[in-house]
Amino acid sequence: MSTPERRIYLDHSATTPVDPRVVEAMAPYWSAVFGNSESAHAFGQAAANALERARQTVADVLGCRPAEIVFTGSGTEADNLALHGVAWAARCSGRGNHIVTTPVEHHAVGRTADQLRDLFGFEVTHVPVDGCGRVDPDDVAAAIRPDTILVSVMTANNEVGTVQPVAEIGRICRERGVPFHSDAVQAAGRLPLNVKDLNVDLMALSAHKFYGPKGVGLLYVRRDTPFVSLLTGGDHERGRRPGTVNVAGAVGLATALRLAEEEREAETTRLQRLRDRLIEGVLASVPESRLTGHPNERLAHYARFAFRGVEGDALVLSLDLEGIAASSGAACAEGQPESSFVLAAMGVCRDWGIGSLRLTLGHGNDEADVARVLEILPGIIERLRSE
């Protein structure tokens, strides 16, 4: 088996490489400035100062107060913290028992809602999505009841890249006095995320999706949102996320978020052009192919296809042998022979759904990468169909 001359990475929604500028910004916080940010001495103060500068940077990008930012160990943890934090607070005050969400959430939200239902007796309503994976805000309004304690709708979907009408859903929740959480893990660095414009009360982000380090995320929690910490321990993060804080990670997240925001418009225009060329080229050259997700309301770097009569996993392996890294769906759903739950919720039948391919572009990609995919992909699909 020959090794491809050049590897092309087209799986930026799974993770991104850390930007060298982020690595540089983090460098002092491993050994030189290593104190515990909770310690009173000078070592601790230096770490605490760096942490609070990072918090301020994040707050500037999100348009919120620094005290409303809680650093976490991942996007998954931030989502868990949001759902459990609000649900437990509601349980303590007897405010209600009902959660509204969608069938296309990442497992970090979907399985957390299931667990709250199955183990803790909460009731969960899933509002439907249309064939493009979009929620209708009117359906959210209709699902809210007097005992609804939380609505959770993701900002952009990780499988198909469909962007939800978050500001409109948030407006409805605000009017009805229901806390609104949005998982913005895939949207960060790609869409404007001013929490006031989006009308969110809670929002989850993860640094490794926008050229920051792995193992650090954050949860925005709007002031006065009823909230109980998931973990118990010390007073870190104002008691909302006890545990010695990963200062280097927080600095990395903040630097990556600032850079992503500064470069967002130019990079969005560039990626959109590449993505549209990719979409047009694939649909024109592969028979029985479709784009899944919304035609316009989609993240600029996302192209997700369905091909009839092909298995997504076989396709991903064949592309990998040619040096192209792609995904058949969500990274954590890999290896499952069934069509993904997201495509199923969108009404994509199994015949098409199992033959799916997600290509997500990023900083390192250029026209030559798109041309290479268009050169290789039609032949691979033809071969797989004939086997």
Q: Please identify every residue annotated as catalytic.
A: 332
Q: What is the CA radius of gyration of the chain?
A: 21
Residue closer to ligand PLP by CB (options 181, 380) is 181
Q: Give the span between the Cα atoms of 107 and 178, in whole angstroms.
A: 22
For ligand PLP, which is the closer residue by CB, 158 or 339? 158
158 versus 318: smaller Cβ distance to ligand PLP: 158
Interacting positions 6-35 with ligand PLP (CB under 6 A): none
DSSP string, 40-102: SSHHHHHHHHHHHHHHHHHHHHHTS-GGGEEEES-HHHHHHHHHHHHHHHHHHHT---EEEE-
Rounded to the nearest whole angstrom, what is the least distance from the CB of residue 164 to ligand PLP in the complex? Answer: 11
> How far apart are CB 219 and ligand PLP at their closest, in Å?
12
Among 9, 69, 75, 198, binds ligand PLP (CB under 6 A): 75
Which of 154, 200, 306, 316 is the binder for ligand PLP (CB under 6 A)? 154
Neighbour tally for 196: CB within 10 Å? 12
What are the residues facing 124 on neighbouring strands? 99
Q: Positive or negative, the Cα torsion across 309, 135, 190, 280?
A: positive
Q: Name the nearest CA neighbour of 51 among 38, 42, 62.
A: 38
Q: Residue 237, Cα to own-chain centre: how many angstroms?
A: 22
Is 29 or 210 the residue whose CB approaches ligand PLP more closely? 210
Closest distance to ligand PLP from the beta carbon of 341 (Å): 13
Query: In the bound complex, what is the minimum distance in angstroms from residue 334's beta carbon to ligand PLP?
Result: 12
Residue written as token pair 């500064």: 262
Both tokens of 330, joined, read 């969500």
| Contact call for residue 76 and ligand PLP (CB under 6 A) | yes
Of the two residues 19 and 141, which places its CB atom closer to ligand PLP in the complex?
19
Q: Which residue, 79 or 313, is less far from ligand PLP as judged by CB?
A: 79
Residues 342-371 vs ligand PLP: string with x where CB under 6 A?
Answer: ------------------------------
Question: Minimum distance from CB of 159 to ligand PLP (Å)?
Answer: 8
CA angle 175–178–183, rounded 5-degree value: 110
Chain positions 179 to 238 lying near ligand PLP, rule: CB under 6 A, are 183, 185-186, 206, 217
Number of residues that bind ligand PLP (CB under 6 A): 13
CA angle 292, 197, 213 (to 5 degrees): 65
Q: Mark out the alpha helices in the chain (DSSP H runs).
A: 20-26, 42-62, 75-93, 107-120, 137-143, 166-176, 195-198, 247-285, 312-321, 341-345, 350-353, 367-386
Site string for ligand PLP, 114-153 (x = CB under 6 A): ----------------------------------------
| Least Å from the CB of residue 329 to ligand PLP | 11
Q: Which is nearer to ligand PLP, 74 or 318 (CB)?
A: 74
Kindly give, in sequence order, each residue whose CB lies less than 8 Å from that of residue 153, ignoring residues fewer than 6 positions away.
Answer: 101, 102, 105, 127, 135, 140, 164, 166, 169, 180, 182
CB 162 → ligand PLP: shortest distance, Å? 11
Taking residue 92's Cβ as centre, other Cβ atoms within 10 Å add up to 10
Q: What does the longest C-alpha to C-alpha distance in the chain come to?
A: 69
Q: How many CA atoms lie within 13 A of 23 on its CB side?
A: 4
C-beta closer to ligand PLP: residue 87 or 330: 330
In degrees, rounded to 5, the angle at the alpha carbon of residue 280 between the alpha carbons of residues 277 and 284 is: 135
CB 173, min distance to ligand PLP, A: 19
With contacts defined by CB under 6 A, name the span among 75-83, 229-237, 285-293, 362-370 that binds ligand PLP: 75-83
Footprint of ligand PLP (CB under 6 A): 74-76, 79, 106, 108, 154, 158, 183, 185-186, 206, 217
